[in-house]
A and B are shown apart, each in its own frame.
Chain A
Amino acid sequence: MNQTSTPIAAETAVAETLPDALQNRLQPIGIDIRDLSLSFGATQVLKGIDLKIEPGEFFAFLGPSGSGKSTLLRAIAGFGPTPKGTIALDGQDVVGLAPWKRNVGMVFQNYALWPHMSVARNVAYGLDERRVPKRESVARVNAALELVGMRQYADRYPSQLSGGQQQRVALARTIVVEPRVLLLDEPLSNLDANLRVQMRQDLLKLQRRLGITTIFVTHDQEEANTICDRIAVMADGVVQQIGKPDDVYDNPANSFVANFLGTANVLEGHVEKAASGPVFRSAGGLELPCGDGKAGAAKLVLRPQSIAFVDGGAADGLQGRVRSAEFLGGMIRYLVDVGGEALLVDELHARGSGRRREGEAVHVRINHEQAVLIHR
C-alpha cells in the first residue's frame, strides 16, 4: 500500500468528538436470528443459526474461512440467496426484503469504493439515494469524513488513497446514512500489521461514540477479543459458542472453540472415579485430577500458561523432556514430552534469561484447576 509521506496516524485519526451533523440521530437496535439456514446449490452453508444481538452491542462472528460467517453477515445485509428462518431487525423480519430497503450499513472486505467517483461523491451517494437536501448532504458528508479523519481527501479518487485511507472512506460512506446496523466484513484483513492495531482501536472508539449495533466478521481471534463485547464462534455453518471473549476463552464449549481461541493442549481420554475423586486419564497415560467430571470419554483443555516449569526438581513436578522451543517475544513456547503426551508450555521471557535446550530434562507442574473438561 502506498503510504503518503505525511504521518497518516496523526492526520487521519478518528475525531475525538462526534460532529454536530451526526449527533444523536442513531438509535441502536437489536438483532434476533432464529433457525436460519442457507444453501448454495447442494451445499448447506448455514445450518440453523440462532443468535441474539443486543442493541448497541459490538459483536463478532469469528471463525475460519468456510465457516459461514461472511455468508451470515451477507444474509443480514440481504445479499446472496434468500435464507430459511428469520432475521429480525428491531423486531421486524427482514428475510426476503431487498438490500436497499433494509437500511443496514456494510463495509466490504475490499472496501468497494467506486473508482469513478471522488471520495466526497462516494460518501454522498447514500444521501443522494435518500433525497437528502444538498445543504444538509454536504454538511453530513463533511462531518462523516471529519469523523474518520479524511476531510482533507474529499476531492481525491479512491485510486489515489492508501488501503487504510480507503477503509476510512468506506466507513464514512456507510455511517453517513445512519444505518440501523453496521456490518464489517473482515475490515482489517487488507491492512498491514501496525495499521491494523490502530484501526481496530479507531473502530472501537467510533462504535462507542455512535452507539450503533455492530457486527464484525473476522478469522482473527485477537481482533475479536480486543474490541468486541461478545463473540459467536462459527464452524461448518453452525454457531459453536456465544459469549464474552474471556468467558468463551476460559470455558470453551468444545475442542474446536478451545483451539480456535488461542493455543490449547487438548488431551483425548476419559474420566475415571478414583478414591481421591474423579481423575482424567489421557490416551497417552497422563493422569490429572479433575473437579467434578462424570465418568466416561472426555477431552481436557489445558492452556500452555497453566503449565509451569519447576526448577530444582520439586516433588510435585512431572518429569519431562524439551522437544522444541519457539521464541514469541514476550514468552517462549516449549513443546515438552510429559507422561506420554506432548504438551505446549509457555514461560515468560526476561531479558538475557536464555532458553532451555532441546532434549533437556525438565520438571513441569500442571495447574489442573485451570483445566477445562469437555465431555463428548
Chain B
Amino acid sequence: MSSAALRRPALTSSFGPYLVAGAVFLFLGAFLIIPVLKVIQVAFQDPATGSLTLVNFQDFFASTLFRQSFFNSLYVASMSVVFASAVALPLAYLTTRFNFSGSVVIQTLAFVPLIMPPFIGAVAMQLLFGSNGSLNLLLRNHFGVTLPIMEGLNGVIFVQSLHYFPFILINLSASLRNIDRSMEEAAQMLGSSGLRLFRRIVFPLAMPGYIAGASLVFVKVFDDLGTPLLLNVNTMLAPQAYLRISSVGISDPMGYVISCILILFSIFAMWVSFLGMRGKDYSTTQKGGGGLAKRDLRPYEAALCYLVVLSILAIVLAPHLGLLLLSFGTIWSFSVLPDGYTLAHYETALTSAWGFIQNTLLYAGLAGLIDIILGTAIAYVVMRTGVIGRKWLDYIAMAALAVPGVVLGIGYLRVFYSVEMPGSGQPLATWWGIIVIALAVRRLPYALRSCTAALQQISPSLEEASENLGASKFATVRRIVIPLMAGGLVAGFVTSFATAAVELSATIMLVASERDAPLAYGLYLFMQSAAGRGPGAALGIIAVIIVGLATYFSHRLIDNARRSRTDVANNGGGH
C-alpha cells in the first residue's frame, strides 16, 4: 500500500454512500416508481371529469364485493402462512439440526416449488388434486368420497402454501444455522429437550428469519393473482384488480384503486414485520462457533425423519410429478394416470424451444446479476451508512413485491415506448433489455432479503480492520464484504434467477417479437391449444430442470464455502 493511498480526501467517505444511494434511487425511480405512478394515477382521477379526486377510494370501501375480496385475500394470505410454516418448519429443523444424509438435496428439492411454470402447473395440480383428479378418482372409486382440496379459497391456500413455503424454509434455515450451540446446550443442561426445547429456545431465537420468510409469504400470497385466477377464484383483491384492468374496452378505475391498495397494504405488512423484528437481532454465533450442534440420528429416529421429510416432499413435489407425467403422457383425461407414454412432446418442445431457453438463461441471468448488485448496494447503504432516508430505499425496493406484473408492464409501455433507443431508433420498450429490467425490478425484493441477511452476519469490525489498514470504502466492500457475503449473494442470485425464469405477467406485455421471447412465454403459447399441453409440460420440465440444477450447484457452492469456514473455526477454537 503506497502512502498516497493512505492520504485520501475525507470527501469520498461522506459523499460515496450518497452517490450509491442516489444511483440506486434513480434506477428505482425510473424503472419502478414512475411507471407505476403513470398507471395508478387513474385511481385518483374522477372518471367523469378527469379531475383529481378520492371518490374512487370511497367507492372501493362502499363496495361489498371489494370488502369481501379484501377479507378473502387477508384470510387466504394468513392461512397460507400457517400451512407454509407447517411444511417449512420440520424441513428446516431436521436438516439444520441433525446429520442427515442428503440435506443439500432436500434443501434443493424444497426450493423447486418456487419454479412452478405458469398455467401448466395449475393443469397438473387439477389433474392430481382437482375434484376429478387422480387422488379424488381413486378416493371415489374405492371409498366413495372426495376431498375438495382445489375448491374455492381452500384450493388457493393449498396451492399457495406449497408454492411459497420455500421462502420460510430458506430464511428459517439461515437463522437456525446462526444460533450458537451453547444456547441450545444451556437449555438441555437445565432439563429441556425435544419439541419443548425447540418451542421455547430454538424457535424464538430463529424468529427474525421466520418473520422475514413469513412476511414474504404473506405479502406474496396477498398480491398474487396467478393462482386464484387459474383456480377461477375471483373474489380476492389481486384477481379483481387484474380482471378490471385487463378487460377489453372497459375503463373502470377500480382496478387501479385496488392496485394502490395492494401496494400500500404490502408496504404496511413489511413495516409491521420490521417493527416486530426490531431489537430482536439475535445473531448469536460467537467466534465462528458454527451454529446448532448437528446430532447423529439413531436408526429408528432416522427412519422416522425420512418418513416425515419424504412425505412432505411428496406433497410438495406432487405438482412437478404431475407435470412430468403430463410431459410423457399421451392423453390424460379423467383418469388416474395418462393413457400412454411418449417422448414426442419433448421432441416438439425442443425443436421450437431452443431460442426460448437461450433467451431465458440470458434474461434471468442478467436480471439476477442486476438484483444482487442492487441488493448489495441497498443493503450496504441501509445498514452501514448514515444516508438520510436510507430506510426508504429498502421500502421502495420491497414495494416491488406488491406491484402486479401487468401494472408494471403497462407502465413500461407508457413510459418507454415514446423513448427511442439510441442508435437503432426503435422504441426503448421493444428492446429485449427492458424485459431484463422488468424481471430485475420484479425479483429485486428476493435478492435484497438475501443480501441484507448476509450483510447482517458480517461484523462491522472486519470492515474497520480493512479501513484501518488503509483500504478505501470501495476497496473494503470489494475485497472484504463481498467475499464474505458470497453465500448470501449466491442465494439471492439463485432466488431471483429461478423465479425470473418462469415469470410471465410482466413479460407478456413487453415481448415485442417472438425471437426475443423467454421460455415462460413459449409455455404460454403452447398452453393456448389442446395439442400444446404435452409439449408445454415438456417445456415446463425443461425449465424446472435447468433452474433446479442451477440451484443445486449454488447450494453446493454455499455449503462448501461454509464447511471450509467452520473447519477453520473448529481447528482454531478450543472445542
Question: Contact residues of A with B, CB < 8 Å?
Answer: 65-66, 69-71, 74, 77-81, 98-100, 102-106, 108-110, 112-116, 125-126, 129-130, 170, 173-174, 177, 179, 186
Contacts and interface: CB of A to CB of B under 8 A. Distances in A.
Q: Which of A105, A109, A173 has the most CB of B within 10 A?
A: A109
A115 B204 CA distance: 9
Interface of B: 180, 182-183, 185-193, 196, 200-201, 204-205, 207, 280, 282, 284, 286-287, 289, 293, 296, 573-575
Given A105-B189, A108-B185, A116-B280, A70 B205 contact: no
22 contacts: A65-B573, A70-B574, A77-B185, A79-B293, A99-B189, A100-B189, A100-B193, A106-B185, A106-B189, A108-B185, A110-B182, A110-B289, A114-B187, A114-B201, A114-B205, A115-B280, A116-B282, A125-B190, A125-B192, A129-B191, A177-B191, A179-B189
A204 B282 CA distance: 32
B282 A126 contact: no
B338 to A, nearest CB: 49
A115 B282 contact: yes
A126 B191 contact: yes
Nearest to B196: A129
Contact of A100 (B188, B207, B289, B575): B188
- Name the prevailing secondary structure of the B interface residues: loop
A112 B575 contact: no
Given A106-B185, A173-B190, 7 more contacts: A65-B574, A66-B574, A99-B188, A100-B190, A100-B191, A109-B182, A110-B180
Contact of A116 (B189, B204, B289, B293): B204
A113 to B, nearest CB: 8
B143 to A, nearest CB: 43
A314 to B, nearest CB: 49
A104 B574 contact: no
The 8 closest A-B pairs by CB, nearest first: A126-B190, A112-B182, A129-B191, A112-B186, A99-B188, A108-B182, A100-B193, A116-B204
Q: Which of B187, B196, B207 has the most CB of A within 10 A?
A: B187
A77 to B, nearest CB: 6
A207 to B, nearest CB: 18
Contacts of A113: 186
A203 B233 CA distance: 67
Contact of A115 (B189, B284, B293): B284
Contacts of B186: 106, 108, 112-114, 170, 173
A77 B189 contact: yes
A130 B192 CA distance: 9
A74 B575 CA distance: 9
B390 to A, nearest CB: 24
A207 B343 CA distance: 77
A50 B91 CA distance: 42
Nearest to A115: B282
B192 A110 contact: no
Q: Which of A74, A77, A108, A177 has the most CB of B within 10 A?
A: A108
A235 B150 CA distance: 65
A98 B185 CA distance: 11
Nearest to B572: A65
Q: Which of A81, A104, A110, A112 has the most CB of B within 10 A?
A: A112
Contacts of A106: 185-186, 189
Contacts of A174: 189-190
Nearest to B193: A100
- Name the prevailing secondary structure of the A interface residues: loop
Nearest to B186: A112
A79 B574 contact: no
Nearest to A98: B193
Contacts of A115: 205, 280, 282, 284
A112 B188 contact: no
B176 to A, nearest CB: 15
A99 B192 CA distance: 9
Contacts of B284: 115
Contacts of B190: 100, 125-126, 129, 173-174, 177
A174 B293 CA distance: 21
A79 B196 contact: no
A114 B207 CA distance: 13
B280 to A, nearest CB: 7
Contacts of B192: 100, 125, 129
Q: Which of B185, B204, B205, B286 has the most CB of A within 10 A?
A: B185
Nearest to A40: B570
Contacts of B287: 110
Contact of A125 (B187, B282, B575): B187
Nearest to A190: B286
A329 B189 CA distance: 43
Contacts of B574: 65-66, 69-70, 186
A74 B184 CA distance: 13
Nearest to A64: B574
Contacts of B207: 116
Contacts of B187: 114, 125
A116 B286 contact: no
A173 B188 CA distance: 13
Given A100-B193, A177-B190, A177-B191, A114 B183 contact: yes
Contact of A112 (B185, B193, B196): B185
A78 B296 CA distance: 14
Contacts of A71: 575
Contacts of A74: 575
Contacts of A125: 187, 190, 192, 200
B15 to A, nearest CB: 33
A114 B280 CA distance: 11
B417 to A, nearest CB: 53
Nearest to B286: A110
Contacts of A130: 191
Nearest to A67: B574
Contact of B185 (A65, A79, A103, A173): A79
Nearest to B289: A110
Contacts of B193: 98-100
A74 B189 CA distance: 10
Contacts of B575: 70-71, 74, 80
A112 B293 CA distance: 14
Q: Which of B200, B286, B296, B574 has the most CB of A within 10 A?
A: B574
A70 B289 CA distance: 14
Contacts of B189: 77-78, 99-100, 102, 104-106, 174, 179
Nearest to A126: B190
A188 to B, nearest CB: 14
B3 to A, nearest CB: 35
Nearest to B285: A110
B208 to A, nearest CB: 10
A51 B188 CA distance: 25
A30 to B, nearest CB: 20
A179 B191 CA distance: 10
Nearest to A82: B296
A353 B289 CA distance: 49
A153 B160 CA distance: 46
A214 B101 CA distance: 39
Nearest to A127: B190
Contacts of A102: 189
Nearest to A116: B204
Nearest to B184: A112
Nearest to B204: A116
A109 B296 CA distance: 25
A65 to B, nearest CB: 5
Nearest to B182: A112
